[in-house]
Amino acid sequence: MRRRAIRREAGEAVIELAGRSVGYLLKRSSARRTLALRVTDSGGVQVNAPLALSHGHIEAFLLRHAGWLTEQLARRAVAHTWQSGVELPYLGGVLRLEIHEGSAGQVLDREGDCLNCTAEPALAVMAWYRRQALELLGSRLAALCRGQGRIEPPWRVSNARTRWGSLSPKGEVGLSWRLVKASPAEIDYVICHELAHFRRRDHSAAFWREVERLCPGYASARARLRENGHRYLEF
Ligand SMILES: [Zn+2]
């Protein structure tokens, strides 16, 4: 008797829990019959589900366990507290936050791997990241388009937590500013993913061949992004 091949799917999803967006890795398998939920040491949320289970069922399951989940996340949320010494992911490495109490304004500058902040660190840091995103993602998009001999499409920095990149029906590329927390290889993969959508709007095998053509060896960057994505979503 031939055994049926096990089919698997994985992807990032987001749910609103107690007024907060919680990103999680959804892993589906045809071999699975029940739902399972776990939080990794680094605060990543993972849900294992049967392949065909509806998204509504999965969300209801998460809502039923919302209390447990938010408690688990709070326990691991040290990185969310904005205090001196906290490490902020940036371009695949980390920047250390240094808060200088007592100084006025929201001035923020970078010295090596140190990010100096004077007030309201959360807002100042996020604004700083957005500025870096505008510059870094823009120059990577331009360089990749040049390398591929194509005209650079219009693009914008997005605030998306649910996806790293998007391509609008009108051909505008959207890139989440949070992507500058990822490594250059992960950033290039996301940009090439969106550029590949100009040729194929779906996620068919032909689409992934196009991604491979534009970004050879993309699979490892894609896997790393899946693994690290929850860290980039912490703020
Ligand atoms: Zn896509």
pLDDT in tens, 33-67: 999 999 876 567 899 999 999 999 999 999 999 98
Q: How far is the CA of 109 from the centre of ligand 1 (A)?
A: 35
Average pLDDT score over residue span 99-106:
71
| Gap from CA of 34 to ligand 1 centroid (Å) | 28
Q: Residues 122, 219: one domain?
A: yes
Q: Which among 178, 143, 172 is positioned nearest to 156, based on CA atoms?
A: 172
Confidence of residue 126 (pLDDT cuts 50, 70, 90): confident
Mean per-residue pLDDT, 217-224: 96
Residue 208 C-alpha to ligand 1 middle, in angstroms? 9
CATH number at residue 115: 3.30.2010.10
**pTM of the entire structure?**
0.68
| DSSP-H helix ranges across the chain | 55-64, 66-75, 121-147, 184-196, 205-214, 218-232
Ligand 1 centre distance from Cα of residue 75 (Å): 33
| pLDDT tens column, 79-94 | 457 888 889 999 999 9
CA of 60 to the centre of ligand 1 (A): 26
Which has more pLDDT, 2 or 217?
A: 217
What is the span of the domain harbouring residue 72? 8-78
Q: Ligand 1 centroid to 194 CA: how many Å?
A: 6
> Which of these ranges, 80-89, 93-102, 136-145, 222-231, has the smallest mean pLDDT?
80-89
Instruction: Examine the domain organization and report whether 203 and 101 are in the same domain.
Output: yes
**Quick check: 88 and 81 in contact, CB under 8 A?**
no
3 occurs within a structural domain:
no
Element of type H or E holding 46? strand 45-50
Conformational region of residue 33, where left means phi above 0, alpha means psi within -120 to 50, and beta covers everything else = alpha
Residue 114 C-alpha from the chain's centroid:
23
Give yes or no: residues 163 and 103 share one domain: yes
Q: Do the domain assignments include residue 43?
A: yes
Domain count, the chain: 2
Instruction: Give residue 20 CA to ligand 1 midpoint distance, Å.
Output: 25
Angle 64-70-76 from CA coordinates, rounded to 5°? 145
> What value does the mean pLDDT take over residues 132-141?
98
Least confident of 91-105, 170-184, 199-213: 91-105
Ligand 1 center from residue 205 Cα (angstroms): 12
